[in-house]
Structure formats: structure tokens, C-alpha cells
Structure 1
Amino acid sequence: MQKEQSSIPWRELFAGVDKTMAVASITMVLAFVLFTVLQPDLANVIYTGAKQYIENELGWYYILTVNVVLLVSLMIAFSPYGKLRLGRDDESPEFSNFTWFAMLFSAAVGTGLLFWSIAEPLSHLQGNPFIAMDGVAPNTLESAQTALRITIFHWGLHGWAVYILVGAILAYFAYRRGLPMTIRSAFYPLLGDRIYGPIGHAIDLLAIFATLFGTATTLGLGVSQMNAGLNSLFGLEISATNQVLLVLGVTVAATVSAVSGLKKGIRMLSEWNIHLSMVLFAFFILAGPTVFLLTIFTTGVGDYLGNLLPMGFWTSPDPESQWQGWWTIFYWGWWLSWGPYVGMFIARISRGRTIREVLFGGMFAATLGAMVWIVIFGGTALHLQLFGGVDLATVANENVTKVLFQTIEALNVPWATSFMIGMATLMIVTWFVTSADSGTLVICTILSQGNPNPPKTYRVIWGLGLGATSAVLLLAGGLQALQTAAIAAALPFSIALLFMCYCMFKALASEQVGQPVAVQQSEAS
């Protein structure tokens, strides 16, 4: 009797999830966290070596992969299959266009765009391979235009194509073929029922770890910037200890949001993010160089589109140069490592939309949103640097997390400065929480074999697991360790993504446009 009672908690612990997947994933995360905490120096050496190897030997592969993904996305969107509805043929979208875009954009960009929209253009202003090739001097208006083009490129169509294509593929197999909402389902045309065995487990474990490290990267960047905001407001010391404490605090908030579910916590926070962003946009436009921003936005869109192909395929000929590894390869690794997480989240919120709506709406609307963001924030910082007598570039070089707040102060609106810094810090918190709770929900959905409402126990476990991973990466090497995690996690998933593209084409080839979806589901099963 006692033996039976003692086994009940274990049965409850694994209720609603795949036991093998749960044990394997939790064990591997604990092993990673313990190793990094107990051997931080060795961990830092390993992470640095992995990053350098990928940058030096596999950079070409990352560049080729994201170009293939963009091409596949456009091919499917423009094909007759683009009009297929993700769900029943008469089904309507679950969320309004605004809510859908708000959740998509909030989950996808996280705190990253807040972090880099100012810091990255300022860095490129001081030097990059493209101004050298064009014969443009650094720290000039011409180099500022190039700096914005590069930043928009890193946040543009190539990156969004990764997220949106993964989302469209997963939504297709879940809502039209009746398969579980997990990464393994995309391999059904290739593996058949073997997706339910060890091979399928391995695929989903790979997706879990890509999600874990990709999300942890953004969380680490977010708390670094949050620490800088609190330093500007209250003088809180910028330190690893305070950043770990901030990770703990916001992780708790994110876990509560994840437990509350998609239609409550995540939806509400996503809409808040967009509304707060609009207020900050208005402040920058009104207090900043309005005409300059409108001018460079118009020029920037054309400059980006005109250079899309050359920049998309460019690889550095200089083996000693670290620029492409630090920037482009890091970004492509980051987008790829976030692919399972954001893609599954997009699939979860896209039922009832057509494939074309998801691909076009996601790629082009999100790219436009990123362009506006970068031009408003980055353009203001560049104008202050070039014409305002404010050396923001030095601030970015010394501490990249402080440059957003220094830019707000440099706009010189005394009555609004503290309020806007406080609001920007609040935005970091809400974007942070949105990323963490969405990532938690996705991991738990995978573990529960596609259940859109996974057990709350696992939402708590993985919410805390994401926070712990982010904290140990910060302690192991700060930004360098975070970047390494994103780039390394992307490698195995990038291979899986290429197979997913093949499987999608194979599935679409057997699709009869106009045939009732129920027939196709029965055939797939």
C-alpha cells in the first residue's frame, strides 16, 4: 500500500506529457546548468571555441540556409497552395489581425530589437565591410545610411522567413493533416508513423534545446538592458549579481503569465507591448529629428530592397575579420535557434488563416514593423551622433546596454526624460515576459505531444528552467556566451529545417486544392 502511494506523485508528475521526453530534457538542462555553474572557466572556453569554429568554418552554410528558407517561403506563398486555409476550408481566424500581429511581433523580437535598434547602427557607423567596399568614410552621413541598411537587413525578410515558414509548416500539418502540434509532425511525409518513436523524440528534443538557448539569449540581453535602465533611474549597480536577480524576478512573472495561458496573459502583454511602443515612437518622432527620420525611412527602404540579394549572399573574404561572425552569423544563428519556438507559437495563433496570409502577413508586415522601429530609434541616435554633439557611439562601445537610455536623455526633454526611461524599462520587462512565457508554453506543448494547453506543472518547471539557463549563461561569459548559445543551438535545427522544407513540398504535391480538409486528414492518418 505504501509503495503504491509513493508512486502516485511520479504518475502525477508525468501526467499529460511524454515521460521519456520529459526525463531526457530535464536531465540535459540540469546537466548543462550544473556544468556551467561548477566549471565556469572551462564552460567559457568551450563556448568560445564553439562560436569561433562555427563562424570560421560554417558561416557560409548559415548564409546559404537562410537564403534557401526565404526562397522556399516566397515559392509557397506565390504558388496555388498559398490559398489553402490552415484548418477547415470554412474556418475563420481565431484572432483579429491586430492581436495576431501583436502576439507574433512580441514573441518574435522579444527584447532584442530594443537592445540592438540603437546600438547596432552606431557600431556600423564607425566601420563595416560595406562602407569600405563603397569607399565611404566612417562616421559620415553616407556611412549612417549604410549602417541603417545593414541593421534593417539583419532584422528583415531573411530572418522573418525562418520564423514564418516554420510556423506555416507546423500549422499546415496540425490543422490540415490532423497531426500533433510538434516539430516531429513536419517529418511525417518522410518518416511516416516513425515520428512517434525514437527518431521523433530526437527531433523534438532538438527543438526544445534550440528554443531553450534561443530564448535564454534574448532573456540575457533583456536583463542586461533592464539593469542599465534601473541604473539610470535609481542608480542600481550594473553587475552580474543584480542581473541574475532580475532574471529571477521576471522569470517568476513570466511563469505566472504562462500558467494563465495564451488568451489571457500572453495576449494581454502582447497588446500592451504594441501600445507602449507606439507611445515611445511618438516621443522619439516629436522630440527627435522628424524630417530626418522621414527622409531616411524613405531612402532606407529603397536602399535595403536594392541591396537585398548582394547582402544576402555576401561572405567575408578575410579569414581574420570577425565582423560577419559577430553580426550576420550571430543573427542568422539567433533567428534559426528561435525557429522552433516562434514558429510553433505562430502556428498556434494562425488557425483559420491561409498559408499566403501567414507567409506574406508575417514576413512583410513584421519586416515593415522592424524597419519603422530601427529608423525611429536608430535614426535618432545617428542624428544625435552626427549633428547633435552627443557621443553615443562611445557609450555603445563601452556599455551597449546603456545606449537606449542615454539616447532618451540626449533628446533633452527634461520633464519627460525620467518618465520615458521608466516606460522603456517597463517595455523591456513586458517584452521579456512575453518572450519567456511564450517559450515556456511552446516547450511544454512539445513535451505534451501537441496539447495546446499543457500541464501547468510543466509550465512552472520550464519557466524556471529558462530563467536558470539565462542566468548561468550570463555568469559564464555575458554577451559572448549568450551569442555562442544562439549560434550553436541553430546548427542542428538548421539541418532539420531544410528537411522540413522538403517534407512540406512533398505534402503539398499530394494536396488537392479545393478537396475538403477532413478527407485529407483521414488520408494522412
Structure 2
Amino acid sequence: MSVKPPLMDLPISTADSGFYSGFSKTVAIVSKIIVAALVVWAIVFPDQAGSVLNALNSFILANTAYWYVYIVAFFVLLCAFLAIWPTAGRLKLGLDSDEPEFSNFSWFSMMFGAGIGVGMLTWSVAEPVYHFQNNPDVIKGAVEGSTAEAIRSAYKWSFLHWGFGAWACYAIAGLALGFFCYRRGLPLTMRSSLTPLFGKSLSGPLGHLIDIVAVVATILGVAQTLGFGVEQFVAGLTRIGIGGLIGEGGTANTLGVIVAIVIIMAASTMSALSGVGKGIKWLSNLNMGLSIFLLTFFLLFGATFFGLQSLVVGIWDYIIALPEMLFTVWRSDGVEGSVASQLESWQGGWTVFYWAWWIAFAPFVGLFLARISKGRTIREFVLGAIIVPSLMCFVWFTWAGGTAIDLTLNGDAGDAIFGASDGDKIFAMVIHMLGAAFGWIMSIVIVILLMTYLVTTADSAVLIVNTINAAGDEGPKAQPHIYFWGIALGGVVAALLIAGGSGGGGLKAIQTAMVIGAFPFSIVMVLQGIALVKAIYNDGRRNAVGIATTHDQAASAPAE
């Protein structure tokens, strides 16, 4: 069977003039309508929105656990395969002559800040604490919760959610986009990554649909992250003396949500207007520096030996248990309160939710990673984008979360840390460690760090959404569109937080919308993985017969 040249031309119709000049009107307008409708629906009909979203969420989680668990396992295995496959590992995300645009430090900083940075400040303390009290090993009776013997299992399950599985989701989207956009010269947009499967048909409605799904998933995935961040930001403002922002249940009230959203989205919009090379790069370097400072504080003054022991043992337990954890799906036996039912409920609330979150976040982080990784090899990308950030997460979880556990288990913290809300746990911990005065100063540092993470995430998301809407154009975007998506992103977070009510209902509303938005894009991601393997395999055959595989070798070529 003859080998055909790869597709190196995927025209996407964009407006020549007017408000949408340079943008794909179908993608931009439909995406805006969907997001705007969600905001209006959540505000005007909060009860109906909550009921419908919860019903859809319950259906998806009840019927797609196998899907989410197995596709994330597939992503992890595929990344490992691409790194060790000689044909793939040495290929660059770009032309053979391309060199990386950013230093390794800036690359890691932007990658970590955009990918997981915000979540670190909330969940590096909150999640180990949760799993220390309850996790599948506790449910099955293998260990007793809230005791020293539960520490190892707490980290094993925490590492599962923030380790290789999370970053493999990002890496697949980033690899697919980087490969097809920078080697083939195709537009930097989601549809380009599926050209080996669908060819030139992606120029039309099918391609528009894929990009719309990516935009909506991005907004909802980032809204999930910002929702947690807003709650923690308000908790931090309260800790440093700004009152009136906390309502019932220890969560942000309407005023707190509005204040946080206005501050964060105003700063992020200004940063987005300056582009990746200026505002986002500067903020990423700043938050990496502050992260190192805060982490050094925990290393020196926290539970140092406890954290080191938890890190080493936790990584060992995680690696050993990873195959089983990646492929295990628990199903209820129909008996309420049984071990099987508890395991299914735990997995739906934690693992399945996390996999949906990372997948919803993948179009944003994947496109951003592709944008900052041009010129790096696939092997370098996989190792840099999966192993290094995972290790950074593990260090945070063991020293920050480990300090909280150690202070409660072996110290005199009592219920001061465990009893605080998720976002407030890290503030409660540093105040307990340092006292009121120095704890107040450290709280200011954490608030500033949180602010830089939130702004980096939000402004990166705005730029990515505009890039998709502009048919992959990375150049300057019309300011009104940046303003719109900045306001829209803040609007989604604010509307769902306010409409969801107090006591965590707002975050639940965002989680529900995010899980629903993630499902269609999960299908796109599986197709991206298949398309990438097919393209690399066919490129090996093309090279053997002298057919050009990069856009510098051939100005154009027939479709596959």
C-alpha cells in the first residue's frame, strides 16, 4: 500500500473585516453564546440550573467511571510509549532546526503555574488531610483512619490524583498540538491534531464543533480551578484583616466572590493583553520564586523529617501500586453503606472527578504547553511535562500536607488545621506555626502567591481561548475579545458560586458543570492519541521513501 504525503494545509475560514476580523465566526460566536447562556441560566434560574446540572452530573459519574479510569490509564501508557519509542522520542515539536524559546526554569515555571499551581495551595494541605482520615484502604479495613498507619495510604492516593495521570492528560493534548502545528505548519487549534483521522473535512463543521467543545471545556475547567482559588483568596484576605467576605459554612459570601473576581480578572486581563512573552512569563517566574520561598519555609520549619520520609516512602508506594490504582474501577453492590458502595462513592467523588477536571483543563494547558515547548523533542517534553511537575507536586504534598498531619497527630494543633475549610487550612497552619504576628506576614505572602497563580491561570486561559477562536493565530488579538473572555470567565465562576449558595454549594455547581463539559472533550483526547501514533508511524514510512514530513520540506502536499 502506497504512503501518502501528510496534510500540511488546513484552511479555516475567518472574517476579513468587522468586529470578528481574523476570527472564525462560527467558533467564536457559538462559544460565546454557550458560555453566556450558562451564566444567565445560573443567575436567573438557579434552582432549575442546579437540578438539571446535578441530574446530568449524576448520570455521567454513574455511567462513565470505567471510561474515565481507563482513558487516563491509556494516556499514561501512551506517554511512556512515546518517550521510549525511538522513532517518536527524538522528533521535535517543530522543525529540526528549531530551538526552545524559553529557558528550562521559565518553561517549568509556566508549565507548573498554568497546570496545577493554584490547586497546590489548596490541596497540598487539604487532600492529604482528607485521605489521612478516609481512603479506600481505610474503607476496606486495611488501615485505621486518622492514625499513623493511615499516612502511607493517604499519600499513595493523593499522588495518584496529582501525579502522572494528571500530567499525562496535559501531555497528550500538548504533544498532539505541538506535533501537528509546528511540524506540519497547521493552525494552532484543536482540530489540527485530528488531521490523520479526518483530513480536510476538519476545515468545516466537524472542525468547528471540535474547537467549540475545546473552548467550552477550557472555560469550565479553568472555572473549576478559579473557584477553588477564589474561596482560598477570600479566606486569605479574611486572615490578613479584611472582614465581611465570609458567609455561612466558612465559605465566601456574595461580596467576597465579587471582590475576589474583580481583582483577579482585572489583573489577568491586563496581563493577557501583554502576551505570553511578557506578562505571563514575568508572573510565572514570580510565582515560581514565591513557591520556592514558601516551600523552603516548610522544608526548614515544618515537619522536615516527617516530610522527607513521607516523600520517599510515598513515591515508592505510589509507583508499586500505580498499575492497580490506574485500572481499578469499583462498582456498588446495591447495598447502601456497604464497602462496595462506599468505594464507588469515594472513587466517583475523588478519582473520577479529578480525571474529569484534568481533561477539562487539558485543552487550555495542552495548547499552552505546546505554545511554550516548540523546539523540544517528544522525549524531552514527556519527561519534562510529566515527571518534573509530578515530583514538584509530591514535594508540596509531603512537606505542606505532612506538616499539617504531623502538627495534628504529634503536636498541639488540635482541631485548628483539620477543622478549617479547605482553602483556609494552609493559613491556619502557618498561623499556628508562627503565631499571630509572623503568621500574618506569611499569610500576606501566600495571598500574593495565590494571586499570581490565579492571574497566570486566568490570563493564559483567555489567550488560549482567543487562539482557538482565531483559527490558531498566535498573534495579537483584538482587545474587545480579550475583555469579553476575561469577563466571561469571571462571570462563570461568580455566577455558579453565587447561584450555588453557601456551604460549598457554589463549588459543587462549578464541579458539576465542569464534569459535564469534560465528557465530550475526553472523546477528542482519545482520538488525539490515536492520531498522533498514526502520524508518527506513517512519518517513519514516509522518511524511508523520501516523502517530506515537515512543512519546511514541502510547501504543500495532498491530503492523507
Give the TM-score of the pair, scaled to structure 1.
0.95
Partner SS, residue 230 of structure 2: helix
TM-fit CA distance, 1:37:
0.7
Distance across 2 between alignment mates of 1:326 and 1:58: 13
| Identity over aligned pairs, percent | 37
The answer to whether 1:261 aligns with 2:275 is yes
Of the candidates 356, 362, 376, which is equivalent to residue 385 of structure 2?
362
Contact 1:111–1:218, Cα closer than 8 Å, also in 2: yes
Residue in structure 1 matched with residue 324 of structure 2 by the alignment: 310
The answer to whether 1:486 aligns with 2:514 is yes
Distance across 2 between alignment mates of 1:18 and 1:24: 10
Partner SS, residue 557 of structure 2: helix
The answer to whether 1:136 aligns with 2:147 is no
Q: Cα distance 1:110–1:476, how it changes in 2: closer, same or farther (>3 A)?
A: farther
Alignment of 1:403-418 (within 5 A): 403-413=425-435, 415-418=437-440
TM-fit CA distance, 1:205:
0.1
Contact 1:136–1:142, Cα closer than 8 Å, also in 2: yes
Distance across 2 between alignment mates of 1:416 and 1:303: 36
TM-fit CA distance, 1:36:
0.8
Q: Deviations over 1:451-475 (max 9, x none)?
A: 1123332112111111111111111
Residue in structure 1 matched with residue 404 of structure 2 by the alignment: 381
Residue in structure 1 matched with residue 61 of structure 2 by the alignment: 55
TM-fit CA distance, 1:128:
1.7
Contact 2:404–2:417, Cα closer than 8 Å, also in 1: no
Of the candidates 550, 553, 558, which is equivalent to residue 519 of structure 1?
553
More helix by share: 1
The answer to whether 1:447 aligns with 2:453 is no
Residue in structure 2 matched with residue 6 of structure 1 by the alignment: none
Q: Cα distance 1:520–1:474, how it changes in 2: closer, same or farther (>3 A)?
A: farther
Partner SS, residue 143 of structure 2: coil
Contact 1:176–1:520, Cα closer than 8 Å, also in 2: no
Partner SS, residue 151 of structure 1: helix
Contact 2:302–2:400, Cα closer than 8 Å, also in 1: no
Of the candidates 46, 69, 77, which is equivalent to residue 75 of structure 2?
69
TM-fit CA distance, 1:144:
1.7
Question: What is the RMSD of the two structures over their aligned residues, measured on CA atoms?
Answer: 1.8
Residue in structure 1 matched with residue 11 of structure 2 by the alignment: none
TM-fit CA distance, 1:10:
11
Residue in structure 2 matched with residue 4 of structure 1 by the alignment: none
Residue in structure 2 matched with residue 44 of structure 1 by the alignment: 50
Q: Cα distance 1:503–1:380, how it changes in 2: closer, same or farther (>3 A)?
A: same
Residue in structure 2 matched with residue 325 of structure 1 by the alignment: 348
Q: Deviations over 1:101-121 (max 9, x none)?
A: 110110001411211111111
Distance across 2 between alignment mates of 1:10 and 1:45: 43
Residue in structure 2 matched with residue 153 of structure 1 by the alignment: 160
Of the candidates 471, 475, 479, which is equivalent to residue 456 of structure 1?
479
Distance across 1 between alignment mates of 2:45 and 2:555: 50
Q: Cα distance 1:92–1:372, how it changes in 2: closer, same or farther (>3 A)?
A: same
Distance across 2 between alignment mates of 1:55 and 1:23: 30
The answer to whether 1:173 aligns with 2:173 is no
Q: What is the one-letter code of the residue matched to 1:281? A: L
Q: Deviations over 1:298-324 (max 9, x none)?
A: 111111111111111222233643211
Q: Cα distance 1:382–1:395, how it changes in 2: closer, same or farther (>3 A)?
A: closer
Contact 2:287–2:449, Cα closer than 8 Å, also in 1: yes
Partner SS, residue 139 of structure 1: coil
Contact 2:135–2:157, Cα closer than 8 Å, also in 1: no
Identify unmatched segments of 5+ residues in structure 2.
Answer: 1-14, 247-252, 335-340, 501-505
Distance across 2 between alignment mates of 1:397 and 1:386: 14
Distance across 2 between alignment mates of 1:125 and 1:85: 42
Contact 2:431–2:438, Cα closer than 8 Å, also in 1: no
Q: What is the one-letter code of the residue matched to 1:264? A: K
Contact 2:227–2:493, Cα closer than 8 Å, also in 1: yes
Residue in structure 1 matched with residue 290 of structure 2 by the alignment: 276
The answer to whether 1:31 aligns with 2:54 is no
Q: Cα distance 1:178–1:10, how it changes in 2: closer, same or farther (>3 A)?
A: closer
Residue in structure 2 matched with residue 82 of structure 1 by the alignment: 89
Q: Cα distance 1:508–1:231, how it changes in 2: closer, same or farther (>3 A)?
A: same
Contact 2:183–2:549, Cα closer than 8 Å, also in 1: no
Contact 1:93–1:353, Cα closer than 8 Å, also in 2: yes
Q: Cα distance 1:516–1:193, how it changes in 2: closer, same or farther (>3 A)?
A: closer
TM-fit CA distance, 1:51:
2.1
Q: Cα distance 1:524–1:180, how it changes in 2: closer, same or farther (>3 A)?
A: farther
Q: Cα distance 1:440–1:106, how it changes in 2: closer, same or farther (>3 A)?
A: same
Q: Cα distance 1:521–1:416, how it changes in 2: closer, same or farther (>3 A)?
A: farther
Of the candidates 107, 115, 118, which is equivalent to residue 111 of structure 1?
118
TM-fit CA distance, 1:258:
0.5
Residue in structure 1 matched with residue 526 of structure 2 by the alignment: 498
More deviation, 73-82/438-447:
73-82
TM-fit CA distance, 1:134:
5.6
TM-fit CA distance, 1:521:
6.3
Distance across 2 between alignment mates of 1:520 and 1:501: 25
Residue in structure 2 matched with residue 402 of structure 1 by the alignment: 424
Distance across 2 between alignment mates of 1:16 and 1:317: 49
Residue in structure 1 matched with residue 8 of structure 2 by the alignment: none
Structure 1 residue ranges, 4+ long, deviating more than 6 angstroms after superposition: none
Of the candidates 218, 221, 224, which is equivalent to residue 217 of structure 1?
224
Distance across 2 between alignment mates of 1:15 and 1:200: 19
The answer to whether 1:348 aligns with 2:376 is no
Partner SS, residue 18 of structure 2: helix
Contact 1:102–1:271, Cα closer than 8 Å, also in 2: yes
TM-fit CA distance, 1:195:
0.9
Distance across 1 between alignment mates of 2:417 and 2:408: 11
Distance across 2 between alignment mates of 1:520 and 1:216: 41
TM-fit CA distance, 1:368:
0.7
Identify unmatched segments of 5+ residues in structure 1.
Answer: 1-8
Of the candidates 7, 11, 18, which is equivalent to residue 12 of structure 1?
18
Paired residue total: 516
Distance across 2 between alignment mates of 1:44 and 1:379: 36
Residue in structure 1 matched with residue 535 of structure 2 by the alignment: 507
Of the candidates 169, 190, 194, which is equivalent to residue 183 of structure 1?
190
Q: Cα distance 1:112–1:521, how it changes in 2: closer, same or farther (>3 A)?
A: farther
Partner SS, residue 313 of structure 2: helix
Partner SS, residue 434 of structure 2: coil
